[in-house]
Structure 1
């Protein structure tokens, strides 16, 4: 049985980004396993525009009534949602920018979190429609934030994933990367070891 993994990277530092380095380590290890297929989407190199009213509005128009421009706008979101559904594991490699997630990653979430497509509203609140998936968060941070009120990333990501129905989420942190060379090396080593252990369970 094949396990299909979608890896999303969002570092503006490209190959110099620590979150990208964690993603590369994951790809190297997971890609070496039999029965694992990996798709990598770089949300900086292939950047999505911020969601605007024209695109949002196009989702609300019946397919047969859309203009050519509206069909093109809808196709962008449809393709990303299809890609999400087509994979078993979603890996988010996430740097921390000003205590939040990169805007490039937010633009991806803005396209895949669509009412009626990946979740629907009920009298009891939102119900996720993306089933049978698990997610992995690879978080690289200059300081130490995990488990504190300054870690706005982790709950935000888990809430968005959970709203779509993805509730099985593993989180691996590489923290304190700007707090001295020895601290950085130890944190990266620990994160890579955690990735190795997680890959064994794919």
Structure 2
């Protein structure tokens, strides 16, 4: 089995939980690596952090330039026309990483998915369709790209979710984050929605909130 290349940060003691965290368009697995020490998680949580690198593909909205991307974005209108087959390929690749964690001895209910921007769209698709219960989902400055096609799994009907968004985000407008929450609620999920006075980024207050939430769902 071939897996996406990843950066992995191991805990001091053998891992008993895992966070698989997806970066945004044009970034890499290194993007969120510096956040791990800032989270200040207790050593007793024994969390393995996995930061996969997206494949290099041409991106239409960037003039066909080849860059790290989970899928091609065909237009930047509010509906975000995307390449659906590519987002499914990426979701399958993330599912393979979840399965690898299970093979390493991590219970599925101790595996959490996180994604920023484009990575968050893949995290939504992967987590909500996955056939074993997961620990949670962090959707950061993102949107629910596959809301018209997503086949939801009964295993994750009660999935704990946070949806974070910047109030001044010029890249993924907050309206898209709110739309995702409304769709999730209409499907019977109970996401926790949080906004921060920031643009398309993460901020210190948010990192503290993420740490507390991770300790709640994985502690």
**Per the shorter chain, which TM-score range?**
0.3 to 0.5
The structure that is helix-richer by fraction is: 1
- TM-score (norm. length: structure 2): 0.44
- TM-score (norm. length: structure 1): 0.47
Q: Larger C-alpha radius of gyration, 1 or 2?
A: 1
- Structure of greater relative contact order (alpha carbons < 8 Å, 6+ residues apart): 1
